[in-house]
Structure 1
Amino acid sequence: MIDLKFLREDPEAVRASQRARGEDAGLVDTLLQADTERRSAVASADNLRAEHKALGRRIGKASPEDRAELLDGAAKLAQRVKDAEADESAANDRMQQAHRAISNIVHPDVPVGGEADFAVLETVGEPRSIENPKDHLELGESLGLLDMERGAKVSGARFYFLTGYGALLQLGLLQLAIQKAVAAGFTPMIPPVLVRPEIMSGTGFLGAHAAEVYHLADDDLYLVGTSEVPIAGYHSGEILDLSAGPRRYAGWSSCFRREAGSYGKDTRGIIRVHQFDKVEMFSYCRPDEATAEHNRLLGWEKDMLSAIEVPYRIIDVASGDLGSSAVRKFDCEAWIPTQQTYRELTSTSNCTTFQARRLGIRYRDENGKPQMAATLNGTLATTRWIVALLENHQQADGSVRVPAALVPFVGTELLTPNN
């Protein structure tokens, strides 16, 4: 949720952010009205409670002949207090609903527009010239790394088996990511992949993208699409000690996405699937440290991409393509030879205090006063990386070179059909 103090001081900035996202700027006025009504209801209820309390003291001191009349007045006042508290509760509910409807405030440097309006910040590496390149699915099947047919037989469309060296490639990628994260000071974590509604909602995933989330209705639990969700909830309702700097976690988990609305897109292979594994960085820090921390997360992503030796670019995602929690997001996109374009492998988002405000995550400032923390996240490796790895390192004879950083995990320098 956004800072109400900021909303009251500069509502036009919030309206501008909503417009930049392509969202309803009128929701800002709804929130301002709800805020006014809630404060009025709280003040009214507080005044009546104080009046009722004062009357109670008078009754205790009253003479017997005055007490009956005072008791009658107290009963009527008690009903007014009860009604006022009901109004206060309703106003709070309306306020919460209106507050949660507003997305985070877009950073002023973010390019305005939709999915195609990103800004390229950096391009790293030159794509190889590959004559008649094979796509990752053809390579994966010929090398015995990937079985989509049996994945569909067992679980349906967009499921798959990683087999043999394919499984070792994924495990190697994730293990390398965890090792790099630990070396950078992250605490490794294997979190739950089922979370309660308040945790899923608190991270902002039950808004515009709720259709992407799997829900187990009988248990009222949600399957996570990223370990960002359980790690964000890990410190919900807590006050953190951030005096020594950001607190960082690296979560290794399976992730689940319904891919609602993506039918017909990327149906071939493992670019867009319902289940995949991922190592996700997550950081809690002071708000004034968030921008620098965002750049650090991006730096660790770049280091991982360099380790698998693929050409990539970094884009500043446009305002209309941001998730509701993020003020700014950088994507790292790898070159895919068969598509002759760059495709997203990682992203890192600065969510400022938006998630922490929903989840009640605070820290103490230099005066010992609790303040809202900032949260950030970034992908360090995921199943989709295998797509870029296979296509960029394919050889003319149909084999695939294994990047040096992964050889210790995979156990071979070259994947061939004989493997």
Structure 2
Amino acid sequence: MMDIKWVRDNVEAAREYLRNRRSDFPLDRLLELDERRRQILGEVEEIKARRNEGSKRVGEMKRRGEDASALMEDMRSLGDRVSQLEAELGSVQGELDDLMLRMPNRPHSTVPVGEDETSNPVVRTWGEPRRFDFEPRPHWEIGEILGIMDFERAVRLAESRFVVLKGLGARLERALVQYMLDLHTSNGFIEVSPPFLVSSATMTGTGQLPKFSEDLYRCANDDLWLIPTAEVPLTNLHSGEILDEDSLPLHYTAHTPCFRREAGSYGRDVKGMLRVHQFPKVELVKICRPEESYDELESLTASAESVLKGLGLPYRVVCLCTGDMGFASSKTYDIEVWLPSQGCYREISSCSNCEDFQARRMNTRYRPKEGGRPRFVHTLNGSGIAVGRCLLAIVENFQREDGSIEIPEALVPYMGGVREITPPVKR
């Protein structure tokens, strides 16, 4: 969450960044509540001082044998007033806390101002999109030809926007996971196997709650939610802790299933695996000192890019503008892979620096070596990468005219030596 003191001292800057983010956040109401909270606290403090002084006088009057009943009645009235103010404070504080949890993060000064994805500048590109001498098929058609994707049975098992991978399709998904984890752990990330169900407090810590509850799946009889990304448990590993500075930075990676309702996305990408309710992903999370976080963002993005480079998949990196970036992010790079069937780049990874936004919600700090008060850490996260989207990108980019696909060289050892997937022989 944002620092209320910064908001109070920089009202116009806060108003500007909210406008740039196209946010309708009620800043004036927040400021009104903050002012009333401070007024109440000041009045309560003043009344309590008067009560303390009055209590002393009551004691002195009683010792002298004087009648203190009038003064004692005044003290009771002050006590009633404190009770009234504390009740109001509870209401004001509750609404203020809720608004603070709903206020989006402040964009970094290097983030371009823009309305939507059309204002996202391209930072760099890698690889050349393949030129086909035939009309490239979409991945769902190839998957059906090869017998490795079954959307019809997935609908019968669950509903739309699920997929069943079979045979070498399932093997390819597993190979991708192992390849990504081996790549990231060899570069210093610690592999973690976290819970796939987490509490409301954990979801709140990284910003999924309360704002995005409609996009999440919740267990009916428990305070548990299915994770939308491993960012949630990985970043919360140190919630409520004060870390030693020498332990930073911390780099974590995990492979988990991810669950999202995709609320409001109906009508978009309804065919295939591009937008589904359950998908595997390898996630990257970093926890570091504030001074290091933007260097860490660059290296985090490079780690995600290394997956696509190793597989030979063309991609580009864009910097999200203020109107397109995520709620908790201060700066985000999207990595977009080339999809031949669509003739365009589509997002396969988002790499974000959240600065101290999540750390304040989680109360995760570190103790500086030189002494002084504990400071909030900075947290970063990125897909390293979305396994399903990587699989469909391989299917489309490495397809042949007969519907078969070539396996990228980096995955051959993970596929047990299999170098291609070909259509089944009809009997």
Please identify, of 153-162 and 38-47, the stretch whose mean Cα deviation from structure 2 is larger.
38-47
Aligned match of 2:373:
369
* In structure 2, C-alpha distance between the alignment counterparts of 1:60 and 1:10, rounded to whole Å: 48
- Return closer, same or farther for 1:67/1:300 CA change in 2, 3 Å cut-off: farther
Shift of 1:316: 0.7
1:11-410 equivalence runs, <5 A? 11-24=11-24, 27-59=26-58, 62-63=62-63, 65-66=65-66, 68-69=68-69, 71-111=72-112, 112-130=114-132, 131-206=134-209, 208-365=211-368, 366-381=370-385, 382-410=387-415
Contact 1:356 1:372 in 2 (8 A): yes
* In structure 2, C-alpha distance between the alignment counterparts of 1:354 and 1:212, rounded to whole Å: 21
SS in 1 for 2:245: coil
Please identify, of 213-222 and 51-60, the stretch whose mean Cα deviation from structure 2 is larger.
51-60
Please identify, of 209-218 and 14-23, the stretch whose mean Cα deviation from structure 2 is larger.
209-218
Shift of 1:58: 4.8
SS in 1 for 2:8: helix
- Return closer, same or farther for 1:275/1:191 CA change in 2, 3 Å cut-off: same
* In structure 1, C-alpha distance between the alignment counterparts of 2:7 and 2:74, rounded to whole Å: 41
* In structure 1, C-alpha distance between the alignment counterparts of 2:52 and 2:220, rounded to whole Å: 45
* In structure 1, C-alpha distance between the alignment counterparts of 2:56 and 2:378, rounded to whole Å: 46
* In structure 2, C-alpha distance between the alignment counterparts of 1:67 and 1:216, rounded to whole Å: 63
Structure 1, residues 116-143: CA drift from partner, whole Å, max 9, x if none? 2211111100011112112111222222
* In structure 1, C-alpha distance between the alignment counterparts of 2:11 and 2:209, rounded to whole Å: 25
* In structure 1, C-alpha distance between the alignment counterparts of 2:277 and 2:365, rounded to whole Å: 34
Please identify, of 75-84 and 61-70, the stretch whose mean Cα deviation from structure 2 is larger.
61-70
* In structure 1, C-alpha distance between the alignment counterparts of 2:315 and 2:306, rounded to whole Å: 12
One-letter amino acid of the counterpart of residue 89, structure 1: G
Shift of 1:233: 2.3
- Return closer, same or farther for 1:293/1:67 CA change in 2, 3 Å cut-off: farther
* In structure 1, C-alpha distance between the alignment counterparts of 2:304 and 2:88, rounded to whole Å: 50
CA RMSD of aligned residues (A): 2.0
- Return closer, same or farther for 1:45/1:264 CA change in 2, 3 Å cut-off: same
One-letter amino acid of the counterpart of residue 168, structure 2: Y
Shift of 1:55: 4.0
* In structure 2, C-alpha distance between the alignment counterparts of 1:207 and 1:92, rounded to whole Å: 16
Please identify, of 151-160 and 16-25, the stretch whose mean Cα deviation from structure 2 is larger.
16-25
- Return closer, same or farther for 1:45/1:180 CA change in 2, 3 Å cut-off: farther
Structure 1, residues 243-263: CA drift from partner, whole Å, max 9, x if none? 343112112211111112222
Shift of 1:216: 2.5
Please identify, of 407-416 and 85-94, the stretch whose mean Cα deviation from structure 2 is larger.
85-94
Aligned match of 1:3:
3
SS in 2 for 1:298: helix
Identify unmatched segments of 5+ residues in structure 1.
Answer: none
- Return closer, same or farther for 1:219/1:344 CA change in 2, 3 Å cut-off: same
SS in 2 for 1:383: helix
Shift of 1:207: 5.1
* In structure 2, C-alpha distance between the alignment counterparts of 1:375 and 1:121, rounded to whole Å: 22
Contact 1:214 1:223 in 2 (8 A): yes
Please identify, of 120-129 and 403-412, the stretch whose mean Cα deviation from structure 2 is larger.
403-412
One-letter amino acid of the counterpart of residue 36, structure 2: E
Contact 1:45 1:88 in 2 (8 A): no
* In structure 1, C-alpha distance between the alignment counterparts of 2:402 and 2:357, rounded to whole Å: 51
- Return closer, same or farther for 1:242/1:184 CA change in 2, 3 Å cut-off: farther
| Paired positions, count | 418
Shift of 1:335: 0.5
Using structure 1 for the length normalisation, give the TM-score: 0.94
* In structure 1, C-alpha distance between the alignment counterparts of 2:383 and 2:309, rounded to whole Å: 14
Using structure 2 for the length normalisation, give the TM-score: 0.92
Contact 2:102 2:211 in 1 (8 A): no
Structure 1, residues 194-234: CA drift from partner, whole Å, max 9, x if none? 22222223322235543211223322322221111122222
Structure 1, residues 370-397: CA drift from partner, whole Å, max 9, x if none? 1111111000122211111111111233
Identify unmatched segments of 5+ residues in structure 2.
Answer: none
Please identify, of 93-102 and 286-295, the stretch whose mean Cα deviation from structure 2 is larger.
93-102
Contact 1:285 1:374 in 2 (8 A): yes
Structure 1, residues 71-101: CA drift from partner, whole Å, max 9, x if none? 4444333222222222222222232123223
SS in 1 for 2:174: helix
